[in-house]
Homo-oligomer: A and B are copies of this chain.
Amino acid sequence: MGGRTLIQYIRNQNKSDVVKMLSRNVDDSNEASLVAKAIIEDVKARGDIAVNAYTKKFDGATIDDLQVSQSEIDEAMQVVSVDLKEALQEAANNIRKYHEQQGSNSYFINEKDYRLGQIVKPIANVGMYVPGGRAAYPSTVLMTAIPAKIAGVKELVMITPPKADGTIQPSLLVAAAFAGVDKIYKVGGAQGIAALTYGTETISKVAKIVGPGNSYVAAAKKIVSSVVGIDMVAGPSEIAIIADKEANPAFIAADLMSQAEHDEDAAAILLTDSEALAEAVKMELAKQVEQLSRKSIILEALSKNGAIVITNSIDEAIDITNELAPEHLEILTTNAVDVYGRIESAGAIFIGEYSPEPVGDYFAGPNHTLPTNGTAKFASPLSVTDFQKKTSLVYYSKEALEMRKDAIELIAEEEGLTAHANAISIRFKR
């Protein structure tokens, strides 16, 4: 206590050292994996009985009806304020508008003697996990359900852990109704993932499970991933901000802390070529944090995974950012558009003084489920395509096959697969 640094400074380091210093070791928890495995096996064997037992144990709730009833949804609609409903509805509209432009298309190639095609269909049934407990996130309901429904998922099933009194946060139910969720069940944790994977008496099994959860949920998703599809296993959240001397230190401090408040493992990094800005941000952090309700989480996160990196130039800040491939990136420089054009990897980029990251978290339209911990080098925000699947189509006429049979047999033989060659040649034997 007292001795803890507010936020570390990094200077005069080369790119790879900076990246190494900033890299978090997000190890899979072995304990979580073992617990999740046992729960999954139990739910697979005992179904609803096991589900309800774990809900009692972990959430303290006794559940009679696993499924949320229409009257509970109607009641939530009454309870939630008009202002919040309007805000959620507007956010839903923005999210819908943004995601409607996504999705893969079917196409066909029609030639005289053959046809090929890629057929795109929605995944028939999808389960979505929505965290409960400490905080209920209606924004996550919107961000997950809306792309699924745009894709055309017929059966979209939401699961979320109940409170100890057996209820669900009303705003979650309102968001689910706005987004078109088909069914909602009161179950969370590894038991919820198991129920979606194998089905129980009440809950039908699904083909894919998406949505963020705690370490037990993440471990359970990884375990069942050979049976059902899963989205990425999200790590702790992170933000990087590239800023020059013209940027407003109060805004930067506020934005760093909006990320840090998520949890103690969140990362918040400022990259700047200005010593003066760095100092000013540090002072703003110290000042503003006193006013924030999640002060202790923020201080813990900043001291563990917060950093102010002083670079020789904005170019160097860009280079480091491309190596970090941060989940969120804010660009607060005079030439922001120029800088953004040189970013190779990031989950989402926020440009300019009036685009703080919470705009994207809740409202603007792009998805808030983003690749974390450097995975933006190869992974993407959750999108409509994550709820689609493709099938290829091949039709050859007799003439088409006859004309090409020698070439196909030649390749088959080169690969030593003579039964493949036989499947061609037998069609032209007399």
| A contact residues vs B (CB 8 Å cutoff) | 26, 28, 83-84, 86-88, 90-91, 97-98, 101-102, 104, 107, 109, 114, 116, 118, 121, 123-124, 134-139, 171, 207-208, 226, 228-229, 233, 250-251, 254-255, 257-258, 260-262, 288, 291-294, 298, 340, 343-367, 370, 375-381, 383, 385, 388-398, 400-401, 404, 406-408, 410-412, 414-424, 426-427
Contacts and interface: CB of A to CB of B under 8 A. Distances in A.
Contacts of A418: 261, 292-294
11 contacts: A83-B410, A98-B116, A101-B109, A139-B411, A298-B419, A354-B427, A357-B423, A358-B420, A358-B424, A366-B393, A379-B389
Given A258-B417, A400-B354, A391 B345 contact: yes
Contacts of A109: 97-98, 101, 365
A359 B258 contact: no
Nearest to A411: B362
Contacts of A353: 398, 427
A392 B226 contact: no
Contacts of A118: 101-102, 366, 381, 383
Contact of A423 (B121, B258, B340, B397): B258
Contact of A419 (B104, B257, B360, B379): B257
A116 B392 contact: no
Contact of A294 (B254, B260, B344, B419): B419
Contacts of A91: 407, 411
Contact of A407 (B137, B345, B355, B363): B363
Given A114-B364, A362-B411, 10 more contacts: A83-B406, A84-B410, A109-B365, A118-B366, A257-B422, A292-B418, A349-B393, A352-B395, A354-B400, A377-B389
B107 A415 contact: no
Contact of A377 (B102, B207, B260, B415): B207
